[in-house]
Structure 1
Amino acid sequence: MFTWLGSLAIRRARLILIITGVVVAISGVLATGAMDKLKVGGFLDPDAPSSEAAELIEERFGGQADLIVLVEAEEGATVDSPEVREAGERLTADLTGEETLSNVVSYWTDEAPSLRSEDGRFGVVVAHVAGDEHEALQNTEDLHAAYAGSIGPAEVTFGGWQGVNRDIFENVMTSLVIAEAIAIPLTLVLLLAAFGSLVAAALPLAIGVLAIVGTFGLLSLLGGFTDVSIFSANLTTALGLGLGIDYALLIVARFRERLGLGESVPDALAHTVRTAGRTILFSAVIVAAALATMLLFPLYFLRSFAYAGIGVVTIAALAALFVVPALLALLGERINAGRLPWVTGIRGGDAPFWGRLARAVRRRPVLALLPVVAGMVLAASPLLGVQFSTPDERVLRDDVASREVSAVLDEGFTGLDASALQVVTDTALDAPAVESLASDISERPGVTRVDASVGSFAEGRPLDGPPADAERSGPDAEWLTVSTSVEPKSEEATDLVADLRGLAVPGGGELLVGGTDAELVDTRDAIGSRLVLAIALITLVTFLVLFLFTGSVVQPLRALVLNGLGLAATFGIMVWIFQEGHLSGLLGFTPQPTDSAMTVLVFCVVFGLAMDYEVFVVARIKELHDQGMTPDAAVEHGLARTGRIVTTAAGLLAVSFLAFGTSSISFVQMFGIGAGLAILLDALLIRGVLVPGSLALLGRSAWWLPGPLRGVYARFGLSEAAEPEDAAAGDRDRTPATDPVGTRG
Structure 2
Amino acid sequence: MLATLARTATRRPRTVLFIWFLLLAVGLGFGTRVFGDLTSTVEDVPGSESVVADDLLSRLDPDGDDFTAAVFGGPVRAADVREAVTEAVADVRGAPGIAVATDPYETEGLLAADGKALLIPVTLKSGLDDDAEEDVVGDVADRLREIGAAVDGRVDVAVSGDPLLGEQMGGRAQEDVARAELITLPAVLVVLLLIFGGLRAAGLPLLVAVSGVAGAFLTLLGFQQVTEISVYAVQVVTMLGLGLAVDYALLLVMRFREERAREDDVVTAVRATVASAGRTVLFSGLTVAVCLSGLVWFPSPFLRSMGLAAGAVVVVDMLAALTLLPALLTLFGGRMKPSPATSRSGAFFARLARFSLRRPLAVVTAVVAGLVVLALPVSGMRIEIGDARQLPHDTEARQLYDTVHAHFPPGTDTDTVDVLIRPGAEPDCERKIRALPGVTRVENGRMTDGTVLLRLTAPGSADGPEATRLVERVRDLRGAEPVVVTGDAARLVDFRDMLADRAPWAVLTVLAGLFVLLFAFTGSLLSPLRTLLTTLLSLGAALGVVVWVFQDGHGASLLGGEGLGALSLTAPPLIIAIAFGLAMDYELFILARMREAWTSGPGAGDHRAAIVAGLRSSGRVVSCAALLLAIVFGGFMTGGFSPILQIGLGLTLAVLIDATVVRMFLVPAAMALLGERAWWAPPGLRRLHERYGLSEGAGPAAGEPEGSGSAAGSACASGTGPVEGSGFAEGSGFAEGSAPEAR
TM-score normalised to structure 1 length: 0.86
Provide Cα deviations, 1:326-356, integer angstroms capped at 9, x if missing partner.
322333442339xxxxxx9997973221222
- 2:396 is aligned with 1:410: no
- Tell me if structure 2 keeps the 8 A contact 1:372–1:685: yes
Cα separation, 2, equivalents of 1:155 and 1:358: 62
Task: Tell me whether 1:304 sits opposite 2:305 in the alignment.
Answer: yes
1: distance between equivalents of 2:46 and 2:589? 40
Distance 1:73 1:53 in 2: 39
Is 1:480–2:481 an aligned residue pair? Answer: no
2:716 aligns with none
Which residue pairs with 1:651 in the alignment? 627
CA shift for structure 1 position 142? 4.4
Match of 1:665 among 630, 641, 662: 641
C-alpha deviation, 1:3, in angstroms? 4.0
Once structures 1 and 2 are overlaid, which stretch shifts more, 322-331 or 176-185?
322-331
Q: Given the alignment, which residue of 353, 364, 370 partners 1:369?
A: 364
Count of aligned residue pairs for this structure pair? 696
Distance 2:130 2:607 in 1: 57
- Corresponding residue for 1:13? 13
Distance, in Å, in 1 between the alignment partners of 2:634 and 2:387 is 23
What residue is the counterpart of 2:721 in the other structure?
none
For residues 167-186 of structure 1, the aligned pairs below 5 Å read 167-186=168-187
The CA deviation string for residues 30-53 of structure 1, in whole angstroms up to 9 with x for no partner, is 233222122222332232222222
Q: Counterpart of 1:482 in structure 2: which amino acid?
A: L
Shift of the 72–266 alpha-carbon distance from structure 1 to 2, 3 Å rule, reads: closer
- Residue 581 of structure 2 corresponds to 608
Please tell me whether residue 440 in structure 1 is matched to residue 432 in structure 2.
yes
Offset of residue 86 of structure 1: 4.9
Q: Percent identity?
A: 34
Give the aligned residue type for 1:418.
T
- Match for residue 527 of structure 2 among 544, 555, 558: 555
1:58 is aligned to 2:53: no
Give the 3-state SS of the residue equivalent to 2:541 in structure 1: helix
Per the alignment, residue 543 of structure 1 pairs with: 515
- SS state of the match for residue 150, structure 1? helix
Contact 1:29 1:217 survives alignment (8 Å)? no
Q: 1:335 to 1:99 in 2, by over 3 A?
A: farther
SS at match of 2:69: strand
How far has the Cα of 1:286 moved from its partner? 1.4
Distance between the aligned counterparts of 1:386 and 1:619, measured in 2? 36
How many angstroms does 1:163 deviate by?
A: 3.6
CA distance in 2, matches of 1:616, 1:55: 50
Q: Distance in 2 between matches of 1:490 and 1:387?
A: 9
Specify the alignment match of 2:720 in structure 1: none
Q: 1:69·1:156 contact (CA, 8 Å) conserved in 2?
A: yes
In structure 1, what is the Cα distance between the partners aligned to 2:449 and 2:109?
Answer: 29
- 1:144 matched to 2:141: yes
Q: Alignment partner for residue 501 of structure 1, among 458, 468, 475?
A: 475
Aligned-pair distance for 1:85?
Answer: 5.1
Equivalent residue in structure 1 for 2:385, among 373, 380, 390: 390
| In 1, Cα distance between equivalents of 2:133 and 2:537 | 43
Residue 325 of structure 1: CA displacement?
Answer: 2.3
Q: Match for residue 538 of structure 2?
A: 566
Alignment partner of 1:34 is 2:34: yes
Cα distance change, pair 313–129 in 1 and its aligned pair in 2 (3 A): farther
Query: What whole-Å deviation, never above 9, does each CA across 1:596-654 have from its counterpart, x for those lacking one?
Result: 33211110011011011112222333333343433333332232222111111111111
Deviation at 1:553, TM superposition (A): 1.6
1:125 is the counterpart of 2:121: yes
Structure 2 gap ranges (5+): 707-732, 734-743
Cα 1:632–1:11 change in 2 (3 A) is farther
Whole-Å Cα distance in 2 between the matches of residues 728 and 14 of structure 1?
A: 41
2:58 maps to amino acid = E
Matches within 5 A, 1:6-405: 6-63=6-63, 65-72=65-72, 74-75=74-75, 77-78=76-77, 84=81, 86-102=83-99, 104-108=100-104, 111-120=106-115, 121-128=117-124, 140-150=137-147, 152-153=150-151, 155-261=156-262, 264-336=265-337, 350-405=345-400
Distance 1:100 1:197, change over 3 A: farther
Unaligned runs of 5+ in 1: 338-343, 454-471, 732-739, 741-745
Match of 1:420 in 2: 416
- Return the offset for 1:73: 8.6
Give the secondary structure class of the aligned counterpart of 2:19. helix
SS at match of 2:570: helix
Task: Report the residue type matching 2:439 in the other structure.
Answer: V
Work out whether residues 282 and 549 of structure 1, in 8 Å CA contact, stay in contact via their aligned partners in 2: no
Question: Does 2:441 match 1:449?
Answer: yes
Distance 2:384 2:415 in 1: 14
Deviations along 1:693-735, whole A, 9 cap, x unmatched?
Answer: 2222222222212112134324432446x2554896369xxxx
AA at the equivalent of 2:612: E
Mapped to 2, the partners of 1:347 and 1:22 lie a distance apart of 40
> 2:376 is aligned with what amino acid?
S
Contact between 2:384 and 2:492, CA under 8 Å: does it hold in 1?
Answer: yes
Using the TM superposition, give the Cα deviation of residue 172 of structure 1 relative to its aligned residue in structure 2, in angstroms: 1.8
TM-score norm. by structure 2 comes to: 0.86
CA–CA distance in structure 1, aligned partners of residues 135 and 547 of structure 2: 34
Give the residue type in structure 1 aligned to 2:141.
Answer: H
Aligned partner of 1:491 in structure 2 is 465
User: How many Å apart are 1:144 and its aligned residue?
Assistant: 2.8
- Secondary structure of the structure 1 residue equivalent to 2:572: helix
Please state whether the residue corresponding to 1:32 is helix, strand or coil: helix
Take 2:129 and 2:610, find their aligned partners in 1: how far apart are those partners?
A: 58
Q: Secondary structure at the match of 1:712?
A: helix
Structure 2: how far apart are the matches of 1:60 and 1:346?
73
Q: Is the 8 A contact 1:62 1:128 kept in 2?
A: no
Q: 2: CA distance between counterparts of 1:187 and 1:139?
A: 44
- Cα deviation for residue 417 of structure 1 reads 4.6
Q: Is the 8 Å Cα contact of residues 85 and 147 (structure 2) preserved in structure 1?
A: no
CA distance in 2, matches of 1:10, 1:394: 54
The aligned counterpart of 2:725 is none
**Cα distance change of structure 1 residues 9 and 635 upon mapping to structure 2, 3 Å threshold:** farther
State whether structure 2 residue 618 is matched by structure 1 residue 618.
Answer: no
| Aligned counterpart, 2:718 | none
- 1:451 is paired with a residue of what secondary structure? strand
The letter of the residue matching 2:300 is: L
1:599 aligns with 2:572: yes
Q: Structure 1 residues 617, 129: CA separation in 2 closer, same or farther (over 3 Å shift)?
A: farther
SS of match in other structure, 2:437 = coil
Structure 2 contact 424–482 (Cα < 8 Å) conserved: no
Residues 73 and 84 in structure 1, CA contact (< 8 A), matched pair in contact too: no
Q: Residue 115 of structure 1: SS of its match in structure 2? A: coil
- Following the alignment from structure 2 to structure 1, what is the Cα–Cα distance between the partners of residues 125 and 690? 62
Give the distance between the partners of 2:174 and 2:472, measured in 1 at CA: 38
Distance, in Å, in 1 between the alignment partners of 2:342 and 2:163 is 54
Quick one: which amino acid aligns to residue 312 of structure 1?
V
CA distance in 1, matches of 2:614, 2:129: 54
Tell me the CA shift for residue 70 of structure 1. 2.3
Q: 1:255 to 1:362 in 2, by over 3 A?
A: farther
